[in-house]
Amino acid sequence: MPDGTLSHYDAAGEARMVDVSGKAETKRVAKAHAFVRASRAALDKLPENPKGNPLEVARIAGVMAAKRTAELIPLCHSLPLSHADVAVTVEADGIRIVTTASTTAQTGVEMEALTAASVAALTVYDMLKALDKRIEIQDVYLLEKTGGKSGDFRR
């Protein structure tokens, strides 16, 4: 908030869901990022994974997570997503995940994009943990967001 107060607390300091009923519906898009660092040996075995294709399972898990964000984050608004996407790319030292969520609503979709990135990363971890005990989930952050009263943001 511009005055330094936190929007999710009332005057008594108790947590509350923000009332967005007075806000205009606008198109809102958010992109988020996560990186799953894994050994080269584990990455080389991706095609042989007995649990199935970890990248495809992570992609679907991320989309499902975006749709269920309000069930996971207590004060998030339930949003009608018009689109959710999860892109996974294998790199030399891990798997990069970039998610997108969009809606036309009274509040933003940053949490949906971040939840998608986090759950997709956790899914990769789950499907590769037998191959590499040192997997790390790193760099979960918002890449950009557009729409809404606070304007656009790009990292």
53-75 pLDDT per residue, tens: 999 999 999 999 999 999 999 88
Measured between alpha carbons, how far is 21 from 49 in angstroms, rounded to an integer? 47
Q: Is the pLDDT of residue 7 over 50?
A: yes
Contact 66, 59 (CB under 8 A): no
Domain membership of residue 16 (yes or no) is no
Contact 36, 134 (CB under 8 A): no
Domain membership of residue 65 (yes or no) is yes
pLDDT at 1: 44
Domain membership of residue 5 (yes or no) is no
Number of domains in the chain: 1
Domain membership of residue 111 (yes or no) is yes
- Return the higher-pLDDT residue of 2 and 149: 149
Q: Is the pLDDT of residue 93 over 70?
A: yes
Q: In which band, very low, low, confident or very high, does the pLDDT at 149 lie, cut at 50, 70 and 90?
A: confident
Domain membership of residue 119 (yes or no) is yes
Nearest to 84 by CA among 63, 64, 65: 63
Three-state secondary-structure class, residue 4: coil
Q: Which residues are catalytic?
A: 126
- Return the higher-pLDDT residue of 80 and 24: 80
At residue 67, what are phi and psi to the nearest 5 degrees? -70, -20
Measured between alpha carbons, how far is 95 from 2 in angstroms, rounded to an integer? 37
Domain CATH number, residue 92 = 3.30.70.640
pTM of the model: 0.89
